[in-house]
Structure 1
Amino acid sequence: MPPSLSRRRQLRVLAAALLAAGATPAAAGTEPAAGAYRLNPGDVIRLSVWKEESLTREATVQPDGSVSFPLAGQVPAAGRTAAELENEVRNRIARYVADPVVTIELLDARGNRVYVLGEVQKPGQFQLDRPTSLVQALALAGGLTPFAARKSIRLLRRDEKGVEQVTILDLDRVTKDTSAAGNLVLQAGDTIIVPGGSLF
């Protein structure tokens, strides 16, 4: 077999193995995958820099959305993915550390809490460590009781100005609509209220 043909076959086998493992041809540092977790105030993270143990720190995302790291100062973190924060810190400390390799690890998604109240089996607050939909949050709360008004579920969410917005959702329509609009991903601080059928 000619060497060039053997080489091409090896490359094809390697490519197949990478695809089977879930690898993609996208280069590191590209846009985060859809649904990647975004940090919230209250989350606890660990920053480490390869071969720079003195820079390893645990930090809590502050109410203003920032974190403080040596050499990097106050860094906006809320709303960013770990990869985005890594890039920001890397750029800031590059003047002090040659070719820094920065890693951000989420230790505790303490700030990502939602509340499910009303006619569910287990009402209360729930700490989320990954993107979670309305239907998934209701499942975490044990599902609806027989008295739940499925067509009048209320989602309470504060906008950027702190004003509370109320959205009324029909669960039957939401479960049939697989689009993002139909089964929206919850945000930190969201409150879901499931009213009783006899009251609404």
Structure 2
Amino acid sequence: MGKRSAWGWAVAAMLVLGGCAHQTRNVDPPPDEPYRIGREDVLDVSVWRDPDLSRVVPVRPDGFISLPMVGEVLAAGKTPKELEAEIRERLRAIVQEPKVTVIVHEVNASRVYVTGEVAHPGAFPMRGRVTLLQALALAGGFTDFADKSALMVIRRDGKGVPVNYADLITLDDKERANVWLGPGDTVVVP
């Protein structure tokens, strides 16, 4: 076999084998954005030196909270700082230079959903950042009938991210292979 022929076979083999390579879609963690208050969260609203105006209040399903002397305030979708500013502005009519602090006492609105062939499908609260592997663990793992090669992460905006479970557990760089979930994402295990 001549040098040219051997070289040609080597190039052909590289092309064929290169086509067999598998690349996992890396989904970066969601950016660190300020927390936005959600429905069913519980807030600790404190007015400095005025315990009568301070309250621990739940965010109602319509997104509002009720405070004495302030009334109804839309909380859902705002950051704690934005809500502080709105409450402070409303209190200026009755309190001289009000100092308001809003602390998210309980995070109940941020959930991920896992459905399909898992031991315990359902909604799971997000405590910080959650990966696909962590969500699957919260759901008790796969049933015997799960198609682990066809997982789907459906984002809150409706876009789907297909995932093969084998890629998550076999790649050397687990951090890059894993998929980060955001509030409202749904994991479907067919």
Please list, as runs of the form range in 1=range in 2, the aligned pairs for 1:43-192 lying within 5 A after superposition: 43-144=41-142, 148-156=146-154, 165=158, 167-171=160-164, 172=167, 183-188=179-184, 190-192=185-187
3-state SS in 2 of match to 1:54: coil
Say whether 1:194 aligns with 2:158. Answer: no
Structure 2 letter corresponding to 1:76: L
Deviations 1:126-167 (A, max 9, x none): 1224343444322323444575434422345666xxxxx362
Structure 2, unmatched stretches of 5+, are 1-30
2:13 corresponding residue in structure 1 = none
Identity over the aligned pairs, expressed in percent? 40
- Contact 2:45–2:100 under 8 Å retained in 1: yes
- Contact 1:36–1:131 under 8 Å retained in 2: no
Q: How many residues align?
A: 155
Rg larger in structure:
2
Q: TM-score, normalised by structure 1?
A: 0.60
Q: What is the CA-CA distance between 1:178 and the residue it aligns to?
A: 6.8
Distance in 1, matches of 2:89 and 2:64, equals 16
Deviations 1:71-125 (A, max 9, x none): 3332221122223322222232233222222122223323333321233354333
Structure 1 letter corresponding to 2:186: T
Distance in 2, matches of 1:110 and 1:96, equals 32
Structure 1, unmatched stretches of 5+, are 1-32, 160-164, 196-200
Q: TM-score, normalised by structure 2?
A: 0.62
Structure 2 letter corresponding to 1:83: K
Distance in 2, matches of 1:50 and 1:63, equals 28
Q: What is the CA-CA distance between 1:193 and the residue it aligns to?
A: 1.6
Distance in 2, matches of 1:35 and 1:139, equals 26
- Contact 1:177–1:183 under 8 Å retained in 2: no
Deviations 1:1-35 (A, max 9, x none): xxxxxxxxxxxxxxxxxxxxxxxxxxxxxxxx924
Distance in 2, matches of 1:177 and 1:72, equals 50
3-state SS in 1 of match to 2:39: coil
